[in-house]
Structure 1
Amino acid sequence: MAEAGTNDAQPGPTTPPRRRRDPEARKREVIEAAERVIAARGLEGLTHRSVAAEGDLPVASTTYHFATRDDLIQLAFERSVDQFLAYLEHLDAVQPTASTADLVERLTNAVITACAGENATHWTVQYELFLAAMRRPALRPTADRTITAGRASLERHLSPARAYAVSAALSGMILHGLAGTHTPDRTTVHAALAELCGGGTAPA
């Protein structure tokens, strides 16, 4: 018989400590889900509910980090521009340019690869967000970042006037490739860029 004052009851199962979520990681999950929604449905399909469904997230987590739909668009655009800047740095590192011909070849490769496979999905999202700045003035400073960065990268090799022309041409070529039924023709792209850059030869 147990003595008075003792407790023979076995301790119950302990509840594991609740893991604290990393708010920045959750925020990144929401933005990545938003990008996938934009790629699949465009900005018109972007809602807190569609983002939550795409990311398998509670709707409350999307509204907690992004109170409005415009907040989602803004952060998605900023992330897109950050990725573009990293892309430019990567190009300079892996494809150094020693001549105008090298530059034309590098830019031609950039246009062709931007319109194919997963790269096309990324560029589709970037153009959706870039074009949104026409109707959303709050996005225009972010648009300025990508315009300035792209032109500055070209001005390392070209005069400001040529850099401006080439930058605009690249945007148009990629947009045509994404929106049209055919990917850009490599020979045509190369020839046009060689003309704009002031040199280069047609590819073999």
Structure 2
Amino acid sequence: MPTPSRTRERIIAATLRIIGLNGVAAVTNRRIAKEADVALGSVTYHFATQHDLLRESLRSFVTQETRRFTDLANHHCTGPITPQEAGAFVGQAAADTAFDSEHIAPFELYIQAGRDPQLRAAAAECFAAYDQLAASILGTLGVPDSERIASSVVALAFGLQLRRLATGAATDDLVDALLLLMGSPPPEVR
């Protein structure tokens, strides 16, 4: 039998899959329980309301993603690197991010936060975590005013990732835009 924390994790993972596949409107306790392979009562035991479930699902995703990006940055940024090397790293990290249902779900949840004030605080926390991560990486790169431009970098990355999701485009636009924002010209020829 799964532990309470493992059951909670399974419920969150199932919720993200459902949202990514069919949107927030498809989230029901019965569907979550089936997808997570848990008892129906487990959903309401761990999450009193759907707002609690959506909020914690978004936070969980962002915690995992920031940990993944931090680990990648720590692994690849062991010493000084050029903006072009950083751009190549970001491009590779973006290309390696599959747009499976769990990676589509946060976009759905951020849109839902625009409709639902109860999710806005969680969305703000999530963007603050991304901003902090971006500022840290930019600071390591020696980018001036890294704290000040971090939110612009995050907004640019999100917008271009959304564009990539919607169009199937490559990551070239993301790399070029980030290099321009950091004050480095993008490569002329690919």
Indicate whether 1:167 and 2:154 are aligned.
Answer: yes
Residues 120, 56 of structure 1: alpha-carbon distance in 2 compared, 3 angstrom cutoff: closer
Indicate whether 1:178 and 2:178 are aligned.
Answer: no
- Which letter maps to 1:130? Y
Task: Please give the alpha-carbon distance, in whole angstroms, between the structure 2 residues aligned to 1:189 and 1:89.
Answer: 19
- Which letter maps to 2:122? T
Could you tell me which residue of structure 1 aligns to residue 174 of structure 2? 189
Could you tell me which residue of structure 2 aligns to residue 86 of structure 1? 67
Aligned counterpart in structure 2 of residue 110 of structure 1, from 93, 98, 109: 93
Task: Please give the alpha-carbon distance, in whole angstroms, between the structure 1 residues aligned to 2:151 and 2:43.
Answer: 39
Indicate whether 1:49 and 2:34 are aligned.
Answer: no
Task: Please give the alpha-carbon distance, in whole angstroms, between the structure 2 residues aligned to 1:30 and 1:86.
Answer: 20
Alignment of 1:1-204 (within 5 A): 22-96=3-77, 98-114=81-97, 116=98, 119-155=99-135, 156=139, 157=141, 158=143, 159=145, 160-180=147-167, 182=168, 184-202=169-187, 204=190
Report the alpha carbon displacement of residue 121 of structure 1 after superposing the two structures with TM.
3.0
Report the alpha carbon displacement of residue 144 of structure 1 after superposing the two structures with TM.
2.0
Contact 2:12-2:56 at 8 Å conserved across structures: yes
Report the alpha carbon displacement of residue 30 of structure 1 after superposing the two structures with TM.
1.5
Residues 54, 113 of structure 1: alpha-carbon distance in 2 compared, 3 angstrom cutoff: same
Residues 190, 141 of structure 1: alpha-carbon distance in 2 compared, 3 angstrom cutoff: same
- Which letter maps to 1:98? I
Report the alpha carbon displacement of residue 201 of structure 1 after superposing the two structures with TM.
4.1
Report the alpha carbon displacement of residue 88 of structure 1 after superposing the two structures with TM.
2.6
Residues 36, 99 of structure 1: alpha-carbon distance in 2 compared, 3 angstrom cutoff: same
Task: Please give the alpha-carbon distance, in whole angstroms, between the structure 2 residues aligned to 1:185 and 1:33.
Answer: 28
Residues 131, 110 of structure 1: alpha-carbon distance in 2 compared, 3 angstrom cutoff: farther
Residues 185, 28 of structure 1: alpha-carbon distance in 2 compared, 3 angstrom cutoff: closer
Number of residues of Structure 1 aligned to a counterpart in Structure 2: 180
Contact 2:18-2:26 at 8 Å conserved across structures: yes
Residues 53, 192 of structure 1: alpha-carbon distance in 2 compared, 3 angstrom cutoff: same
CA radius of gyration, larger in: 1
- Structure 1 gaps of 5+ residues are 1-18
Larger RCO, structure (CA 8 Å, separation 6 or more): 2
Report the alpha carbon displacement of residue 27 of structure 1 after superposing the two structures with TM.
1.7
Give the structure-2-normalised TM-score.
Answer: 0.82
Residues 66, 186 of structure 1: alpha-carbon distance in 2 compared, 3 angstrom cutoff: closer
C-alpha distance after superposition, 1:19-66 (max 9, x if no partner): 7x5222222222222122112111010010110121232212212222
Higher helix share: 2
SS for the counterpart of 1:199 is coil
SS for the counterpart of 1:67 is coil
Give the structure-1-normalised TM-score.
Answer: 0.77
Query: What is the percentage of aligned positions where both structures have the same residue?
Result: 25
Report the alpha carbon displacement of residue 79 of structure 1 after superposing the two structures with TM.
0.7
SS for the counterpart of 2:48 is coil
